[in-house]
Chains A and B, each alone.
Chain A
Amino acid sequence: MDWLLVGVVLTAFVILGSSRLDSCIRMVALQGVLLSILPPMVRGSLLDWHGLFLAAASLAIKTVAIPVLLARSLKQAKIKREVEPTVSLHYSLLAGGAIVVIAFSGFKLLPVPTGPFPTLLIPAALTVVFIGFFLLISRFKAITQVIGFLVLENGVFLFGMTLIRDFPLTVEMGVLLDLWVGVFVMGIMIHHIHRTFDHIDTKAMASLKDAE
């Protein structure tokens, strides 16, 4: 299981350091695969229907549906496939390093809740959440913001693994459904943003302010 957690964090790093949008999308999909394997493992049995169902649903949404949708809007928008971050990729990566340190050492201040999950789970989840946050504030293309949001969501999902025994399946499904509808609506909006502004750089969307 540690392998999976390490893999999830590494994919987050790759997204942080990658300069091409399509490889970012592929990494999000890969992260989805890794996350989908987790629920049955955390629940301890491969034949447990709750875990399996959750795995299937998150595989369908996180690995298939959302990346396909993003890849399609990337294609439709015919945009430059570069990430064009505001913070250079060097500093992004260094920030990633700082984030890991903060997440791991911050975690040490907290008591570890007892549970059948590896100790690495919580710091890894926090790292991914912070990296998602960083992606959101340091990237301006609409599609990279969605990617940042997805990474953030994945981190939260990872954290949710600590509670998989307490969370009813219906609620988990609700969470996944919300995610899917959210990204779907965002995908439609990216399409409209492209049609309206001819590109998907959200820096252009700054006409709404208080002093005019």
Chain B
Amino acid sequence: MTWLIQSAVLLTTPPFFLGVIAKTKASFAGRKGPPLLQNYYDLIKLFRKGTVHSPASSFVLRLAPAVIVSTLLTAGLFFPLLGRAPIFFEGDVILFAYLLALGRFAMILAALDVGSGFQGMGASREAAFGAFSELAFFLGLVVLVVISGSASLTGIFQWKWIHPAWRPVFLLLFAAFFFILLAENSRMPVDDPSTHLELTMIHEGMILDYGGIDLGLILYGSAIKLFLLMAFAISLLWPQPLAWHWHSAALLGLKWTGMAVAIGAVESVTARLRLIKVPQLLIANFVVTLFALLVALFGRRV
């Protein structure tokens, strides 16, 4: 039962939250904005089209979209979205992190495969910033494992018994994961998702050569990635109940929408950082996570 519902939620809802973000940004700017379901229309449109591949490219380019979507969907099955995750075992945190990393790897390879300058630049930036944000991500996972004593996502997010002395740690981690989310999904202070100036983009730069179904898959993949990282961040503050109920689906919709609005708000009020400042933000993030780890290790009242 949970199995089915979680798969359905994972497959269908992610583009909706992208729509929420776009709507929030539009309303901050005083515009009406695209309809909430615009991303679905875009995806449908793209899936109807055919695909053209550059003759200079190899199978990597063709394989990448499938790898990205499948790794992300698999990762999603480990996450306790509505009650217990469909699949869970000790150590699935690490698998989760590596599945995300594999998706990124495929993306970078595909961008390099085309051999175009802009893609290469985007790939290099993605790799550089990814290195910083993954550092913080892994460290954050370590903190969670230390606190909860469990190496499974399902175990981590049932933290009702956790000592109140550790509450500040969760706030710190939430802040850290929020920035990781922004960085990983090419959101505002790090990358501008709406820009089309090749020199300044990161994520958009890498997918310039895609079209049709492949582009659709990549857009779909990035929506899932956003969805999963939002799940991670919001569950730190307010975890989903572990037993399945119909109202936990409503709760999920509520929390994720709130998170999407928050992202939209942050994106609206910040300017994109100069590229040179991005590593600084990510390093700061890493330091905050490090601090969280130390607080977790030492903060326990003796």
Give me the interface of A with B, judged by CB distance under 8 Å: 2-3, 5-6, 9-10, 13, 17, 89-90, 93-94, 96-97, 100-101, 104, 107-108, 112, 118-120, 123
Residue in contact with B279 in the complex, picked from A2, A10, A90, A104, CB distance below 8 Å:
A90
Q: A13-B284, A90-B280 are in contact. Are A101 and B171 (CB under 8 A)?
A: no
Is there an interface contact between A94 and B298, defined as CB atoms closer than 8 Å? no
Is there an interface contact between B298 and A123, defined as CB atoms closer than 8 Å? yes
Provide the residues of chain B in CB contact with A101, threshold 8 Å.
290, 294
Give me the interface of B with A, judged by CB distance under 8 Å: 165, 167-168, 171-172, 279-280, 283-284, 286-288, 290-291, 294-295, 297-302
Provide the residues of chain A in CB contact with B284, threshold 8 Å.
13, 17, 93
Provide the residues of chain A in CB contact with B301, threshold 8 Å.
118-119
Q: A94-B287, A96-B287, A97-B287 are in contact. Are A119 and B302 (CB under 8 A)?
A: yes
Is there an interface contact between B290 and A97, defined as CB atoms closer than 8 Å? yes
Task: State the CA gap A94–B290 with chains docked (Å).
Answer: 10
Provide the residues of chain A in CB contact with B290, threshold 8 Å.
97, 100-101
Residue in contact with A6 in the complex, picked from B171, B283, B286, CB distance below 8 Å:
B171
Could you tell me the dominant secondary structure of chain B's interface residues?
A: helix
Nearest CB in chain A to that of B301: its residue:
A119
Is there an interface contact between A17 and B280, defined as CB atoms closer than 8 Å? yes
Is there an interface contact between B287 and A120, defined as CB atoms closer than 8 Å? no
Task: State the CA gap A100–B292 with chains docked (Å).
Answer: 10
Nearest CB in chain A to that of B283: its residue:
A93
Could you tell me the dominant secondary structure of chain A's interface residues?
A: helix
Provide the residues of chain B in CB contact with A119, threshold 8 Å.
298-302
Provide the residues of chain A in CB contact with B172, threshold 8 Å.
6, 10
Task: State the CA gap A94–B286 with chains docked (Å).
Answer: 9
Nearest CB in chain B to that of A96: its residue:
B287
Provide the residues of chain B in CB contact with A3, threshold 8 Å.
167-168, 171
Provide the residues of chain A in CB contact with B286, threshold 8 Å.
97
Task: State the CA gap A192–B116 with chains docked (Å).
Answer: 57
Is there an interface contact between B291 and A112, defined as CB atoms closer than 8 Å? no
Task: State the CA gap A17–B286 with chains docked (Å).
Answer: 12
Provide the residues of chain A in CB contact with B302, threshold 8 Å.
112, 119
Nearest CB in chain A to that of B165: its residue:
A2
Task: State the CA gap A6–B166 with chains docked (Å).
Answer: 11
Q: A89-B280, A100-B294 are in contact. Are A2 and B287 (CB under 8 A)?
A: no
B269, chain A: closest CB distance, angstroms: 15
Provide the residues of chain B in CB contact with A94, threshold 8 Å.
283, 287
B131, chain A: closest CB distance, angstroms: 13
8 extra interface residue pairs, beta carbon distance < 8 Å, beyond A90-B283, A96-B287? A2-B167, A6-B171, A9-B291, A13-B284, A100-B287, A107-B298, A108-B298, A118-B299
Provide the residues of chain A in CB contact with B295, threshold 8 Å.
2, 6, 120
